Amino acid sequence: MEHFDLIVIGTGSGLEVSAAAADGGMKVAVVEEGPFGGTCLNRGCIPSKMLVHVADVARRIAEAERFGIHAAIERVDWPFIAARTFADIDQESADILQANRDAANITVFEGYARFVAHKQLDVGDSQISADTIVIAAGTRPWLPPVPGLAESGFHTTDTVMRVAELPRRLTILGGGFVGAEMAHVFGSLGTEVTIVTRGAAMVRDEDRDISRALTEAYARRFTLVLGSEARRVTRTEAAVRIDVGPSGEPDAGVSRVIECDACLVAAGRISNADRLAVEATGVETDERQFIRTDEFMRTNVEGIWALGDIVGRYRLKHNANLEAAHVAHNILNPEELRPVDYHAMPAAIFGSPQIGSVGMTEQAAEERGIPYAVATYAYDQTAYGQSIEDSDGFVKVLADPSSGEILGCHVIGQDASVLVQEAVNVMRFRLPIDVIAQSIYIHPALPEVMQAAFSSVAQQVAQSRSEAAPGPDR
């Protein structure tokens, strides 16, 4: 058995830790079962956003007539689109692997890893151990226990972006961010898309007004089967047949049969902790099998750390990067541990319309009994928003009526992921809404909608403070 100073399992954000440790002179083992670079590079955010851009281009062409430009899409060359998407990605993955093979102080182990004893791993035919271990092995798609699904030849995000040809009809099981993005991609390129989701709306984790707006927009583009779930999947020579029934949730749907050429399961993701058999080294997981860590990213076992999606706090690449930077620092500086500050963690959904969000939703504020001021401002109430005719777009802001700090900001519409970043930056440093409300904005530009929304909520905060102020002594 070969012993190392550090083992890093997973080559997404975990590589930040292994590189820092190797540069610091530690003897490091890097373990990876799949392609180097992790989920984000190979089958997640990078390829999906490259395809989203293609879909955005197609949408612009399809809607050009609204602006007096008569254009048409003559042909969609999916093999070219897929090759363009993955040529650079596959090369980058190969380059990352080679760079790790060539790096001083790093030994690469390619294969399936599994704990067999305390701080001991089997990786293929190799047995390795280390004083310090970082688990950054991510998640995998969750497959609902639907009879016939396993035999149907379904897709997940691991496979759907590499299909040989565009399906004529695609059914997506799941109405979260993956379903929203993949519906936009394939629907914009000519596929007939049906979305089956258990709830009464799409992207239910978002603010309720955002969820409602996206659901309405998608209902105009796709077939939405809400309040429903797959009961059985059958593949015939001609099609995939999906029997759908009510989900049992409020506003449940009705029974129906959907026939399609391909089925995408986008029903969530589960931790890979079980595949690693982390219990063999004593690492605790929660009820969903995500690894428990403290504020420094330490597990309950001394010397074993975890980060990223396998921890499950925020399953976002930028969150994993934040955690990785802290783990690297904390391992190399044990006398100066730094806790991770998750305040103002943003997220985006790259559908059409786009969504950008940070902080508390209105329903969360209500459930927790937190006082708030709220304002909404529509894109088309601004000059630029009017020019692009974005009737779905708006900005929604929640603020603390006493301090004026941002509680949450939610944007839907063109460039929502860009616009929300301004609120993220102000919120991250716990600055008041006036930083945005009283700034100078270029006119006419789309960010004016942010200023308008923040100015509106600032007026409410000022009114709230005025009402709370003591009156003059009599």
Residue 152 lies in a domain: no
pLDDT reported for residue 473: 57
Q: What is the C-alpha separation between 31 and 97, in angstroms, rounded?
A: 11
Q: Quick one: tokens of 105?
A: 């102080």
For residues 168 and 124, what is the distance between their CA atoms, to the nearest angstrom?
41
pLDDT of residue 466: 80
The pLDDT of residue 471: 65
pLDDT score, position 249: 80
Q: Does residue 129 form part of some domain?
A: yes
Q: Which two tokens stand for residue 358?
A: 């940070």
Q: What number of CA atoms fall less than 13 Å from residue 38's CA on the CB side?
A: 26
Mark whether 353 and 446 lie in a shared domain.
Answer: yes
**Residue 20 covered by a domain:** yes
State whether 135 and 275 are in the same domain: yes
- Its pTM stands at 0.95
To which residue do tokens 């992790």 refer?
A: 38
Same domain, 258 and 300: no
Give residue-wise pLDDT tens across range 169-204.
999 999 999 999 999 999 999 999 999 999 999 999
Domain boundary among 310, 332, 354: 332
Residue 181 belongs to domain spanning? 160-267
Indicate if 385 and 364 belong to the same structural domain: yes
Residue 184 lies in a domain: yes
Is residue 460 located within the same domain as residue 356? yes
Give the per-residue pLDDT at 109: 98
| Per-residue confidence (pLDDT) for residue 474, from 0 to 100 | 44
- Are 129 and 1 within 8 A, CB to CB? yes
| Burial class of 364 by CB neighbour count within 10 A (0 to 12, 13 to 18, 19+) | middle
- Report yes or no on 421 lying in a domain: yes
Which of 234, 267, 300 is the last residue in one of the domains?
Answer: 267
Residue 473 resides in a domain: no
Give pLDDT < 70 ranges for the chain: 471-474
Residue 153: inside a domain, yes or no?
A: no
Q: How far is CA 268 from the centre of its chain?
A: 11
Active-site residue numbers? 443
Query: In which residue are the tokens 């688990």 written?
Result: 135
Q: Model confidence over 14-69: pLDDT tens digits?
A: 999 999 999 999 999 999 999 999 999 999 999 999 999 999 999 999 999 999 99
Q: Are residues 177 and 94 in the same domain?
A: no
Q: Are residues 21 and 132 in the same domain?
A: yes
With tokens 């993701």, the residue in question is 269
Residues 294 and 242 in one domain: no
- pLDDT (0 to 100) of residue 250: 75
Q: Measured between alpha carbons, how far is 347 from 417 in angstroms, rounded to an integer? A: 8
Q: Within this chain, do residues 219 and 165 fall inside the same structural domain, yes or no?
A: yes
pLDDT digits (tens, 9 = 90+) for 128-176: 999 999 999 999 999 999 999 999 999 999 999 999 999 999 999 999 9
Average pLDDT value over all residues in the chain: 96
Residue 357's beta-bridge partner residues?
347, 410
Same domain, yes or no: 261 and 306: no
Residue 471 belongs to some domain of the structure: no
Q: Residues 179, 195: one domain?
A: yes
Measured CA to CA, the distance from residue 135 to residue 276 in angstroms comes to 9
Domain holding 350: CATH number? 3.30.390.30
d(CA 421, CA 425): 6
Among 267, 298, 322, where does a domain finish? 267
**pLDDT given for residue 344 in this prediction:** 98
**Total count of domains within the chain:** 3
CATH number assigned to the domain comprising residue 80: 3.50.50.60
Residues 6 and 137 reside in one and the same domain: yes
